[in-house]
């Protein structure tokens, strides 16, 4: 059993990390009071810009091209998310409709642009990110095998961002203000917080995170852009809800979901796992999220003002 766990663990983590960073993006946006179901589309933007930059630069700058791609994905994701922020914050648009529009525009526009460049609409990258062993820690018994052998550098970057985000959200003035905007924007406003600005920043951060998540999928899992994030953005949204809008919650939720999906993917190859029907494993994240919603219906941790446009004049 341990052997199997050791075998699938790196895959589970590789699948968890893009989910985690995207979910964290959703957390920023929703804790500031803006529902963001455009995560899927923002991931696609990150996949497109990341793959494009890497494909164009990996010949000339093989060492840093992957990091340039990730950076491009962060910037493009943030910029694209501003469209969502403009609609939701400045124009009081319906946040769900705007999020859907973001998903649709991202999916269609990137494939349109990619087809103009490559014909097929797919963008391949030649070299993905290399797996590395962490020098001393990978020698540890069991834990070393599970966590420090064959890891991607992006995994540690994302975990660092998660830690930093938790610190910013709970230990800094900006974090307090951001959370206040999501719970009671009028109170925040009367305390002198610029609700509109905070929400713009939060939505841009969510775009940056989701863009990074999309690009990480390209450099670790898929190796090519094909115009779709295959539902990972929505899975990240489910993790955000199942994790009850908290950083440690989404860490647990995304790992849980990543493990279930990985087991489903490899269950054909590993006979011991074939007994669990894959259909159950793949639908598991969505079913437990529904159950979590039912159980928490009385005491939901959801940001109270999420989904409502902020109207200064309303009491």
**Closer CB to another protein, residue 10 or residue 285?**
285
Stretch that binds another protein, among 64-72, 90-98, 130-138, 157-165 (CB under 8 A): 90-98
| Length reported for the chain | 315
Q: Is residue 94 a contact point for another protein (CB under 8 A)?
A: yes
**Closer CB to another protein, residue 10 or residue 41?**
41
**Closer CB to another protein, residue 98 or residue 155?**
98
CA–CA distances in Å: residue 268 to residues 191, 271, 276: 57, 7, 10
Q: Are 146 and 78 in contact (CB under 8 A)?
A: no
Q: Is residue 183 a contact point for another protein (CB under 8 A)?
A: no
Q: Is residue 91 a contact point for another protein (CB under 8 A)?
A: yes
**Closer CB to another protein, residue 108 or residue 197?**
108
CA–CA distances in Å: residue 5 to residues 49, 155, 221, 266: 34, 19, 19, 12
Considering only CA atoms, which of 159, 160, 204 is closest in space to residue 178? 204
Q: What is the DSSP string of 41-77?
A: HHHHHHHHHHHHHHHHHTTT-TTTHHHHHHHHHHHHH
Residue count at the site for another protein (CB under 8 A)? 44
Q: Is residue 83 a contact point for another protein (CB under 8 A)?
A: yes
Q: Is residue 196 a contact point for another protein (CB under 8 A)?
A: no
Stretch that binds another protein, among 53-61, 181-189, 216-224, 274-282 (CB under 8 A): 274-282
User: Whose structure tokens read 């219906």?
Assistant: 297
Q: Is residue 238 a contact point for another protein (CB under 8 A)?
A: yes
Q: Is residue 108 a contact point for another protein (CB under 8 A)?
A: yes
Collect all residues with Cβ–Cβ distance below 8 Å to 265 and sequence separation of at least 6.
11
Q: Is residue 123 a contact point for another protein (CB under 8 A)?
A: no
Contacting residue, 20, 44, 89, 111, with another protein by CB under 8 A: 111
Considering only CA atoms, which of 187, 149, 159 is closest in space to residue 255? 159
Contacting residue, 130, 160, 197, 231, with another protein by CB under 8 A: 231
Q: Is residue 109 a contact point for another protein (CB under 8 A)?
A: yes
Task: Give the chain's end-to-end CA distance (angstroms, integer).
Answer: 59
Q: Are 14 and 152 in contact (CB under 8 A)?
A: yes
- List contacts with another protein (CB under 8 A): 37, 83, 86-87, 91-94, 96-98, 100-105, 107-109, 111-113, 115-116, 121, 231, 234-235, 237-238, 241, 277-279, 282-283, 286-287, 289-290, 293-294, 297
């Amino acid at each position: 059993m341990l052997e199997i766990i050791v075998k699938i663990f790196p895959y589970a983590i590789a699948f968890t990390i893009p989910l985690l960073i995207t979910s964290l993006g959703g957390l920023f946006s929703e804790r500031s009071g803006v529902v963001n179901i455009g995560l899927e589309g923002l991931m696609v933007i990150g996949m497109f810009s990341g793959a494009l930059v890497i494909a164009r630069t990996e010949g000339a700058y093989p060492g840093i091209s992957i990091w340039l791609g990730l950076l491009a994905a962060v910037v493009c994701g943030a910029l694209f998310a501003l469209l969502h922020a403009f609609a939701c914050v400045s124009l009081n648009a319906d946040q769900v409709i705007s999020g859907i529009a973001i998903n649709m525009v991202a999916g269609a526009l990137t494939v349109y642009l990619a087809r103009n460049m490559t014909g097929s609409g797919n963008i391949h990258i030649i070299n993905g990110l290399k797996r590395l062993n962490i020098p001393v820690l990978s020698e540890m018994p069991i834990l070393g095998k599970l966590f420090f052998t064959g890891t991607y550098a992006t995994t540690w970057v994302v975990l660092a961002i998660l830690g930093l985000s938790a610190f910013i959200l709970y230990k800094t003035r900006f974090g307090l203000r951001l959370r206040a905007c999501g719970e009671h924007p009028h109170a925040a406003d009367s305390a002198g917080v610029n609700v509109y600005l905070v929400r713009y920043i939060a939505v841009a951060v969510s775009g940056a995170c989701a863009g990074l998540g999309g690009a990480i999928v390209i450099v670790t899992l898929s190796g090519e852009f094909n115009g779709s994030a295959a539902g990972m953005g929505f899975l990240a949204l489910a993790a955000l809800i199942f994790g009850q809008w908290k950083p440690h919650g989404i860490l647990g939720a995304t790992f849980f979901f990543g493990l279930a999906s990985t087991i489903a993917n490899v269950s054909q190859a590993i006979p011991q796992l074939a007994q669990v029907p894959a259909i159950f494993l793949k639908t598991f994240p969505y079913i437990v999220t529904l159950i979590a919603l039912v159980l928490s219906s009385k005491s939901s941790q959801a940001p109270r003002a999420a989904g409502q446009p902020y109207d200064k004049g309303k009491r």
